[in-house]
Structure 1
Amino acid sequence: MLSGLMNFLRACFRPRSDRYVHSNSDSSGRQDGLLWYKDHGQHFNGDFSMAVVQANNLLEDQSQIESGNLSLHESGPYGTFVGVYDGHGGPETSRYINDHLFQHLKRFSTEQQTMSVDVIRKAYQATEEGFLSLVTKQWPMKPQIAAVGSCCLVGVVSGGILYIANLGDSRAVLGRAVKATGKCCPFSSHLSTMLISRSIGDVYLKKAEFNREPLYAKFRLREPFKKPILSSEPSISVHQLQPHDQFIIFASDGLWEHLSNQEAVDIVQNHPHSGSARRLMKAALQEAAKKREMRYSDLKKIDRGVRRHFHDDITVIVVFLDSNLVSRASSVKGSNISVRGGGISLPPNTLAPCTTPTEAGSA
């Protein structure tokens, strides 16, 4: 049933801050105005690139790539974890997910000694419960936090299997080579496009006790509700990777507002590996400028906050798949890599041991 993949549409513990490494070197990315990018890095299953552009006063997109040991024990499993978290109403929820979701996943994979749909689902649930606890504590002083939420797109590659989990309107697109033509095409699952009806956070739409004062009136629903309006249960697909599966594009909806699946796949195929995420970002921003009848160079001069009138925060992570590495057993050890979108990296020694494209997604 899940032989295909994949577009997902419309969509604990934080290490001490002094353990982070901030740098403008290639090791942790470069900054160009509101654009941060890392053109090349290596993960457990191949290469990757990342790019993030800020539009809001506070960056509401958060993202990460974690590679190596996906559990708390040296026995593994090993692989690559990718997360794109598109916040709304503020950055609190996406930041919380960035700090906790992967740690929960490592904890549950340790308990089960494997990677699985159940491990991912439990990690989402623990993250949701943790953020609810945070909202409950902060509610009297900061009631608006009950109206902050985030979409949550996760990809895990381990033991030759690709897991994709999604809440909301972010999207993952798998680029697959077609033998007859040599062209790369998006490869999709059965899921259909829907409006956002799932998220982490947005507690005031899940727990009626938060849909009242002191939450600001502009957020509150007039009619009381007995059942949650939004869900935090992710849609999860499982795909056995094949040698002709070339790469996966993970991106928040800010990219997909301006590029189709096929356009994005073509850009990556025509300029593979180094800088792919930045090329996708530039193409999306050029299209955003074109829609407003302005030059790309002028769009780049617009400061954050005002920039939000032209495009959203955008996050792009392109993960290339080396079939020789993907086919390795999930227990094979590899060096640990941890990169946060925006240029915060953890060095290894601080880490704990074509047809017409169709779209698919989860809401």
Structure 2
Amino acid sequence: MTGKEILYKMKEKVGLGSSADSGKGKSKMSKNITHGYHLVKGKSTHPMEDYVVAQFRQVEDNELGLFAIFDGHLSHEIPDYLRTHLFETILNEPNFWTEPEAAMRRAYSITDNTILEKAVDLGKGGSTAVTAILINCQKLVVANLGDSRAIICKNGVAKQLSIDHEPSMEKDEIEGRGGFVSNFPGDVPRVDGQLAVARAFGDKSLKKHLSSEPDVEVEMIDNDTEFIILASDGLWKVMSNQEAADAIKNIKDARSAAKHLTEEALARNSSDDISVIVVRFG
């Protein structure tokens, strides 16, 4: 086995992915729950700025499914930092088991402050994030900043579990902080004419006008639950929630489903980095 193959196997085992990468895993608590992920670099000249986490972890008598996509802008250091630090910060919150939603909000705030303090090392850019924690195969807690997105499919119907933080939707809040939202012809709305999302980690130069408060949603897993999809905006720019759900409804292997979605996004001329995680239930 070559060094590259060994590294690939190690990354697949711990569920950390970047660049052109792919991986899969399964729950020990429920053999019917599996996950797979696939990443494809976009057409831009800068390095890959998407990173994922996809793993099941035993914590004493509990099992946690930890899933996340971090989509950097002007930075690959910050999403890489989030990949290795955000979940540890969440799980170290003393109230995680009793109030996971509050723990995630506090951990997001702590992590953002740390990134700003480390701006000299991590650079001037930032990152969006969508994170999902599956607690004992029963409770799903989703948090997000920016325009990466999580959906759940039950009985063939796709439901969005996160909120796309578009500058046009938070114009009043941005202006209330002293910023502005540009709306130039041929371009998307941007905070201070620069950033196309209203919330993100990092972005020290824009932080006075930019929120790092996540939206948090809780969903219970039941017998109707088929799968969840987490993906960066490289997918959602060219596919609706229902189109993505319909595209993989008959693909039982989670990694194959994730890869199929990236291929479909490329076929629809998505030029951005594309990262997809699929978690299948039964």
Could you say which residue in structure 2 is the equivalent of 1:36? 21
Size of the aligned set, in residue pairs, is: 238
Q: 1:285 aligns with which of 266, 269, 277?
A: 266
Q: Distance in 1 between matches of 2:20 and 2:84?
A: 22
Structure 1 residue 59: Cα displacement: 0.9
After TM superposition, the structure 1 = structure 2 runs for residues 76-155 of structure 1, keeping only pairs within 5 Å, are 77-108=62-93, 110=94, 112-114=96-98, 116-135=100-119, 137-138=120-121, 145-146=123-124, 148-155=125-132
Q: Distance in 2 between matches of 1:190 and 1:62?
A: 18
Is 1:240 aligned to residue 223 of structure 2? no
Q: Distance in 1 between matches of 2:144 and 2:162?
A: 14
Could you say which residue in structure 1 is the equivalent of 2:140? 162
Is 1:187 aligned to residue 153 of structure 2? no
Q: Distance in 2 between matches of 1:190 and 1:50?
A: 19
Structure 1 residue 28: Cα displacement: 5.2
CA deviation map 1:73-98 (0-9, x unaligned): x25x4221111000001212111111
Could you say which residue in structure 2 is the equivalent of 1:199? 200
CA gap 1:97/1:112 in 2 versus in 1, 3 angstroms: closer
Could you say which residue in structure 2 is the equivalent of 1:214? none
Identity over aligned pairs, percent: 29
Structure 1 residue 119: Cα displacement: 1.3
Structure 1 residue 49: Cα displacement: 1.0
Could you say which residue in structure 2 is the equivalent of 1:295? none
Q: 2:151 aligns with which of 165, 168, 173?
A: 173
Q: Contact 1:115–1:158 at 8 Å: present in 2 too?
A: no
CA gap 1:81/1:257 in 2 versus in 1, 3 angstroms: same
More helix by share: 2
Q: Distance in 2 between matches of 1:116 and 1:254?
A: 29
Q: 2:58 aligns with which of 42, 56, 69?
A: 69
Structure 1 residue 259: Cα displacement: 1.5
CA gap 1:272/1:26 in 2 versus in 1, 3 angstroms: farther
Q: Distance in 2 between matches of 1:64 and 1:191?
A: 20
CA gap 1:255/1:155 in 2 versus in 1, 3 angstroms: same
Q: Contact 1:94–1:149 at 8 Å: present in 2 too?
A: yes
Could you say which residue in structure 2 is the equivalent of 1:339? none
The one-letter amino acid of 2:71's match is D
Structure 1 residue 36: Cα displacement: 2.3
Q: 1:258 aligns with which of 207, 232, 238?
A: 238
Q: Distance in 1 between matches of 2:73 and 2:222?
A: 36
Q: Distance in 2 between matches of 1:98 and 1:193?
A: 21
Gaps of 5+ in 2: 1-5, 168-196
Could you say which residue in structure 2 is the equivalent of 1:181? none
Structure 1 residue 69: Cα displacement: 2.9
TM-score (norm 2): 0.76
More strand by share: 2
Q: Contact 2:163–2:215 at 8 Å: present in 1 too?
A: no
Q: Contact 1:105–1:123 at 8 Å: present in 2 too?
A: yes
Partner SS, residue 92 of structure 2: helix
Q: Distance in 2 between matches of 1:123 and 1:193?
A: 19
Q: Contact 2:162–2:215 at 8 Å: present in 1 too?
A: no
Q: Distance in 2 between matches of 1:92 and 1:169?
A: 19
Q: Contact 2:126–2:200 at 8 Å: present in 1 too?
A: yes
CA deviation map 1:334-360 (0-9, x unaligned): xxxxxxxxxxxxxxxxxxxxxxxxxxx
Structure 1 residue 242: Cα displacement: 1.8
- In our comparison, the structure showing a higher alpha carbon Rg is 1
CA deviation map 1:54-85 (0-9, x unaligned): 12431100110131235xxx25x422111100
Q: Distance in 1 between matches of 2:10 and 2:90?
A: 30
TM-score (norm 1): 0.60
Is 1:319 aligned to residue 279 of structure 2? yes
Q: Distance in 2 between matches of 1:105 and 1:158?
A: 13
Structure 1 residue 115: Cα displacement: 5.6
Q: Contact 1:85–1:98 at 8 Å: present in 2 too?
A: yes
Q: Contact 1:83–1:154 at 8 Å: present in 2 too?
A: yes
CA deviation map 1:244-267 (0-9, x unaligned): 011000000001112221121012
Is 1:272 aligned to residue 271 of structure 2? no
Structure 1 residue 22: Cα displacement: 0.7
Q: Distance in 2 between matches of 1:158 and 1:37?
A: 24
